[in-house]
Amino acid sequence: MFARFSVILVNTLSSSSCSSSFNMMRPPFVPFWPQAKQLITFPSYFSTHYHYHQPSAFFATMNTHQHIKKPMCFYFTHGKCTKMDDPAHMERFDHDSSVGVQVDSGELKHVGEMNTTGRRKPLCLYYTHGKCTKMDDPFHVEMFDHDCSLGLEVDVHALEGLQSQQFDYLLVLDLEGKVEILEFPVIMIDLKTLRFVDFFHRFVRPVKMDEQRVNEYIEGKYGKIGVDRVWHDTAITFQEVLQEFEDWMARNNLRDKKSGGSLLRAAFVTCGNWDLKTKIPQQCKDSNIKLPSYFLEWINLKDIYLNFYKREARGMRTMMDELQIPLLGTHHLGIDDSKNIVRVMQRMLSDGVVMQITARRSVSSHGTVQFLFKNRIR
């Protein structure tokens, strides 16, 4: 038997929920504990002596409480309140379900800003794989973004501090997957304008695991953020990912055929050395692939940050907090993390940083990595 059934109708500016067929982002869970802690401050007799319409000093406490004001009259919500003309009753109980959910103009401005700087509509991950079939569905388009450049816009004043750079483009890479690579996202940025140019995004299917282990792995990694279904629908092997990535680089004229396919006036940027020092070579070995030459050097943004700002940042979130950059999207979803790293990098470049290669792998011995900065994150 149901004890209570309640519905509140809310007019939303932008929904973050999604349909069951496109279960790509669950709305953030708001924990009850902060409100529960407030209940502890209520008089102890509330739980054993409280009766509806009971006069008590308790209601004065409620009326001035930081979060919970006057209690709602539940006779009113059921259309059965007979005390609307009783001043004492009206003083003690609310009869307006909208109390506490008003939005002022400043909050509306904040909501507008969140469309470009915070967590609003999730990016359609079928779209990032070139497989979205619902671009003509207004509901789907309203629910999901289909523009990877959103949130990466650059103000013209940000260009005033730009320094001369040795590269034309930077490729921000942030892999996901500890046992094997599960996600391979790259975002291409023009160093002269700091603007988004293009992106590449693929989910990667492990080659060393059986199906049951893969399912457990994906549920543990992506199930909690609601993108496990799209992963299963789109994931391909690492070998296939690299082939498609090389085709993407060719379309963007990023490789120098004369030098064996290394990057042409471009460099990878990672948040740490793990992606290109450890994980890519390991995955190439697991997939029986020779390590491509374009993966032999990279820029570790942590080392650049340390030497430019003279302070240590152990991760992307630390950099964002110190630079007061709000998180965009979902942390540990590779494509969103790559965008957030881009935003940190854009800020650093506007502050005047010069991007330099921080690590280089030996051509003759791929196991040997030379770190080029004396002052670096270890």
Active site residue 332: yes
Active site residue 176: yes
Q: 293 with 262: CB under 8 angstroms? A: yes
Query: Can you give the three-state secondary structure of the chain, one letter per residue?
Result: CCCCCCCCCCCCCCCCCCCHHHCCCCCCCCCCHHHHHHHCCCCCCHHHHCCCCCCCCHHHHHHHCCCCCCCECHHHHCCCCCCCCCHHHHHHCECCCCCCCCCCHHHHHHHHHHHHHCCCCCECHHHHCCCCCCCCCHHHHHHCECCCCCCCCCCHHHHHHCCCCCCCEEEEECCECCCCCCEEEEEEEECCCCCEEEEEEEEEECCCCCHHHHHHHHHHHCHHHCCHHHHHHHCEEHHHHHHHHHHHHHHCCCEEHHHCCEECCEEEEECCCHHHHHHHHHHHHHCCCCCCHHHCEEEEHHHHHHHHHCCCCCCHHHHHHHCCCCCCCCCCCHHHHHHHHHHHHHHHHHCCCCCCCCEEECCCCCCCEEECCCCCCC
Catalytic residue among 176, 180, 183, 297: 176
Query: What are the b/e assignments for 132-161, b being 16+ CB within 10 Å?
Result: bebeeeeebeebbbbebebbbebeeebeee
Catalytic residue among 49, 65, 110, 332: 332
List residues with catalytic annotation.
176, 332
